[in-house]
């Protein structure tokens, strides 16, 4: 473990970041980017066409 890693894992910033990540995972946000349209998570969209269609439908 590097000195930076040791600092990061012992710092309050790491603990806060870990807390936020856990809260996001509990809410279903598993990756970036996470797309939310009208308060709904868009889980799987690998294509521009699919995302465009979802946006048009919701708007």
pLDDT per residue as tens, the chain (59 positions): 688 777 777 778 788 888 999 998 998 888 777 888 888 888 766 788 888 888 898 88
Give the span between the Cα atoms of 5 and 33, in whole angstroms. 25
Phi, psi torsion values for 42, nearest 5 degrees: -100, 105
Going from N- to C-terminal start, the domains of the chain cover 3-58
| 3-class DSSP assignment, residue 22 | helix
Is residue 19 within 8 A of residue 39, CB to CB? The reply is no
pLDDT at 45: 67
pLDDT at 7: 75
Chain position carrying tokens 């936020």: 20
- 3-state SS string for 42-53: ECCCCCHHHHHH
């Amino acid at each position: 473990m590097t000195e930076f890693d040791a600092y990061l894992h012992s710092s309050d910033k790491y603990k806060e970041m870990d807390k936020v990540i856990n809260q996001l995972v509990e809410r279903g946000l598993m990756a970036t980017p996470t797309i939310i349209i009208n308060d709904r998570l868009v889980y799987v969209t690998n294509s521009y066409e699919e995302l465009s269609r979802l946006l048009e439908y919701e708007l």
